[in-house]
Structure 1
Amino acid sequence: MKLPPWAYIVAVALSIAMLAVGCDSQSSDSKQAQQPTIQSKSYFIFDTMVTVKLYDDPAYEQHFEHILNIMKDIESKMSRTLETSELYKLNAHAGKGPYQVSDETFIVIEKALDYAKKTNGRFDPTIGPLVSLWGIGTEQARVPAQAEIDEALKLVGYDKVALDTAKKTVALAKPGMELDLGGIGKGYAADAIADYVREQGVKSAIIDLGGNIYAVGAKPGGLDWTIGVQDPNETRGNQIGMMKIKDRTIVTSGVYERYLEHNGQYYHHILDPKTGYPAKSNLNSVTIVTDRSTDADALSTSAFALGVEEGIAFIEAKPNAEAIFITEDKQVYTTSGIPSFFTLTDDQYKYEFKK
C-alpha cells in the first residue's frame, strides 16, 4: 500500500537540539565545556510515548516516580475508554442528570467547553460519539455510513452540557452523549508535570507527551532551547525551520497523527463536529507556541479546524499565543509574533503572513 507523504510524519512534530553548556569560571580548567547531566525516563501512557528529561537534578529517581503517579491519576480521571475512570462513568450517566466529578476533571471540562463557545463549536468536547463511531487509531477504525453519522451528530453539541461550579457536577442532556477530552487532556498532563518539576526546584527540563512538548526554563547556562520544525513531507530529521524558545510549550495538531485508509482515500482523526467527517482545511498541521500546554492543546485543534484565515485571527486574539500553519501545498503562514524566534531554512517552502 502506498501511503501519502504526510503518513510518514511524526510531523510538525518537533526535534529538539540540546546543546552543551559551558561553565563561567576564570580558571584554565573551566575553559573546557562542562556537559550538563541529563536523566531521561520514558513511559507509555495516554496511548502515546511520554519522555521526560531532567537536567542536573540529583533527585531524578523520586521525581520520575512521582511524575508517573501524576499521569496515572490524570488517566484515572479523564480517560474516555478506561471503564473505571471518572469520565467513562460520567458518559455512562448521560441523560440521567448531574454527575459529580473531581476538581481536576471539572476544571478541564469547563475549559474545554469555554473553547467550544469561543470557536462556535469547531472545537467541541462532546464529539465523543463521532470519535467512537470512526474509531480512527484503533483496530475498529472504519468509514461509517451517512445514516450513522447523522445519528451521532444528534448527540454532539456543547450547549447540551450543564455545569454546576459549586457542586462540581456535569450533566449530559441526552443518553448516548460522550465527552472526549483527547483534544485537551495531554496538555493538562504536560502542565501538571511542568508545575511539579518547577516546585521541586528543577531549572531545566523537557517534557514530551507524543508531540506536546514543554520546555521548562532555559537550557543549562540560561540559553534558549533550539526546536526544529519538522518538514511535513519528509521523514523525521528533515526540518523546514527552527525556533529559539525558553519556558514555553509547543503543541501540534495534524493529519499525520492518526488516520484511516479506505478505498484509496485517507481520513485523519481531527473530526469536524459540524459535519461528522474529518475537518477539511487544506492544512497538514498547526503548531502552537504559548505558556500553558492545556491552552496550546485546545488552540491547536481549534486552529486546525478553523483553517488558515480564521485560525490566525483566532490565535492573534489570544495573549501570549503564536502559531505556525503548514498547508498541503507547502505554504507556511504564521501569526505576527513568530518571526521574532522562528527562522525558515527550507527554500521549498513559501513563508508569508496573513494579516
Structure 2
Amino acid sequence: MKYSLRQLSVFDAVASQESVSAAAKKLSMTQSAVSMSLSQFENILDRQLFIRQGNRLTLSYWGRWLRPKAKKLLQDAQQIEFGLHDQHIISGHLSICASQTPAEYILPELISKIDENFPNLCIELKVKNTDHVIQTLLNHQCELGIIEGRLDDSRLLQEKLMDDHLIIFCSPFHPYANNESVNLSQLEHAKWVLREVGAGTRCTFEGAMHGLIDHIDVWKSYENVSVLKALVANGLYLGCLPHLDIVDALEKGQLVALNTPDLNLRHRLSFVWHKDAGDNPLRDCILLEAKRLVSRHEKKQDKAYLNLPYPAGFKALS
C-alpha cells in the first residue's frame, strides 16, 4: 500500500472539520502539511476526495465512499497500538449524538458508569433532534446515535434502548384538566405547543394523529423542552412529550396528564449507527453497559428510578 495511516487520519480530520485549517488545528499540524498530505493522498488514489465550496470542503462521491472505510482502519490501528502497549482494549474516544430525552434522562447515568468502569474511554456528546442525529451519522460526524421514534433509513442499523410513551398534557386550569378522558374532537379544537418538525417526539405524535384528525392547530413549535413545558403550564395549550420529560411536573401538580384512549402514543428510544461502520469495540461497550443498566433497574423494579411510577417503563434491550 502506498498510502499511510497519517494520510488516512488527515483525510478523516478534513472530512470531519470541512476545513484544512480546522483539521490542522485538530491534528496539531501546520496547514501546509495538511494540504500536502491530502494532495498526496488524492494523487495516490487518483481520485478527487473533496469538492471546494468557497472556504469549505465537502466530500465528493469517492470521499463519501471512502470515509467509513478510513474510519474503520483508523479504529483498528488504534486498538492495535493500545494492545501493543499493554493498554486496556476499551480505550480512546467515541462520539455520541443523542436527542434531548435520552441525553437528559439516560446518558448521565450511563456515562457515569462508563467513566467508572472504563476510565480510558472518553465519550464526546452532542445533543440534537432525531433528524439531525440521523444526518450526523450519515455524514460520519459521530459514531453512535440515540434517537426517539421510527428509523426508516436502510443505511443505518438500530437497536432498541427502551420503551417510553408520549403523554398529552395541559395546565391544571385548562378546561380539559378535570375530564375523565379527551376525545378526538376536543383534541382537534385545542391549541397546541409541540416540539419542532424533525424531532422524534413530533414524528410519533403526527403518526398517532394520522388518519384520525385532519388538522391540528399548532400554535408554537420549540426545540427546548423546558420552554414548551413552561408555556403549557402557564397557558391554555395542550402539549405532547415523552413521559420521561414531564413526570416530575406531573408529580408536582404543575401539569396534568390527559387520558386519550383513541391514540396510540407508544414511543421508543434506540441506538443507531452507520451500517458501514463495521465492528467497533467501543460502541459494543456502550451498548453492553446500557443493557446492563436497563436490566438492573428492570430486575429491581425500581419505581423510583428516573421518577417513573411504573416498573415496566424501563425495558431491556432486545
Give me the TM-score of the superposition, normalised by structure 2: 0.27
Which has the larger Rg? 2
Give me the TM-score of the superposition, normalised by structure 1: 0.25
Larger relative strand fraction: 1
